[in-house]
Structures are given as structure tokens and as C-alpha cells.
């Protein structure tokens, strides 16, 4: 597991510039809500801590992780002033291949949106073998992946802003 021995909630606050002028969208899966709500809270708290006002954070819920792709697409089309979108989901492996199809579909869908649209979409979908691994990565012994993706969203919003002014 990539997070083994690493606390996902540790970051250097000095490396993060003030994010108060940025606007963020979060699309949150209702499936495995115990996990996704913890991830959302981790991301939300970091955005607020780094200067983003509550009014500049938009949250939409979708039924499951597969629907995150459509939710992110529609959120980006509905609010063109967003600087980054975070998609939050949790897929826990079961006894069928459904896990593989959902993980593959949502990963490819979000990658495709990042290529086709002019807004960074940050991937926060836990794909774990069991519920305990998800708990450990959503506020448990490995910290909270939501914290990590919020930092990525701030950095990518800044990257997007700087890229607009770059003329080779």
C-alpha cells in the first residue's frame, strides 16, 4: 500500500500560498458515506485553514463513485469561475469484478476531464481492499487523504492561474 507508514495529513503549511481568492468545487459520493464524509471534512478544513471562504466552496453530492465523473463535468460547466474541483469517493473491493469496473471507469473519466477541460480535477477516490484500509486513510492511522488532495487543489489552482499568463 502506497500510504504505508505515511500520515497523509502532514504537509508543510509554508509551501502553500494563501488561497483566499480561489473557488473550489467538491463532488462527493454518498456511497460509503462514513468514509467520504471524513474525506470531505479533511479537504474542507484545509481549504478554510488556507484562506478559502465558505462562500467559495461549492459541494455537490452524487450517489456513487462512478457518478463522480458526470458530477465533476456538470459542476465545471455550471460554475466556470471555479479554480479546481475535487472528486471524493470510496470503492471497497467486494467479491465481484464490479470494483474493477468502477475503479477503472472513474479513473479514466477523471483523467479524460483533466485533458479536455480547462479546470484541474483532483482525484480523491479511495480504492481499498477492505473498509479498515479506507478508515485508516480517511482520518485513521494514515491521516486523511482529503487533506492531501485539498493541498493539491490549491497548488493546481495556482498552477492554472500562472499558466494563463505564460506566453512562450
- What residues are labeled active site? 98
Q: Among 106, 107, 88, which Cα is nearest to 29's?
A: 88
Closest CA to 122 of 148, 99, 140, 144: 148
Amino acid at each position: 500500500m502506497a500510504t504505508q507508514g505515511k500520515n497523509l495529513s502532514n504537509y508543510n503549511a509554508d509551501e502553500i500560498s494563501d488561497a483566499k481568492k480561489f473557488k473550489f468545487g467538491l463532488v462527493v459520493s454518498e456511497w460509503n458515506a462514513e468514509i467520504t464524509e471524513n474525506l470531505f471534512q479533511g479537504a474542507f478544513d484545509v481549504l478554510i485553514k488556507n484562506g478559502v471562504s465558505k462562500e467559495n466552496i461549492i459541494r455537490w453530492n452524487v450517489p456513487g463513485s462512478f457518478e463522480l465523473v458526470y458530477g465533476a463535468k456538470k459542476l465545471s460547466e455550471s460554475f466556470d469561475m471555479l479554480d479546481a474541483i475535487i472528486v471524493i469517493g470510496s470503492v471497497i473491493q467486494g467479491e465481484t469484478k464490479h470494483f474493477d469496473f468502477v475503479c477503472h471507469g472513474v479513473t479514466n473519466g477523471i483523467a479524460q476531464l483533466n485533458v479536455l477541460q480547462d479546470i484541474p480535477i483532483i482525484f480523491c477516490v479511495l480504492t481499498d481492499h477492505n473498509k479498515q484500509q479506507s478508515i485508516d486513510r480517511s482520518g485513521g492511522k494514515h491521516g486523511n487523504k482529503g487533506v492531501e488532495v485539498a493541498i493539491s487543489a490549491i497548488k493546481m489552482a495556482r498552477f492554472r492561474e500562472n499558466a494563463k499568463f505564460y506566453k512562450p
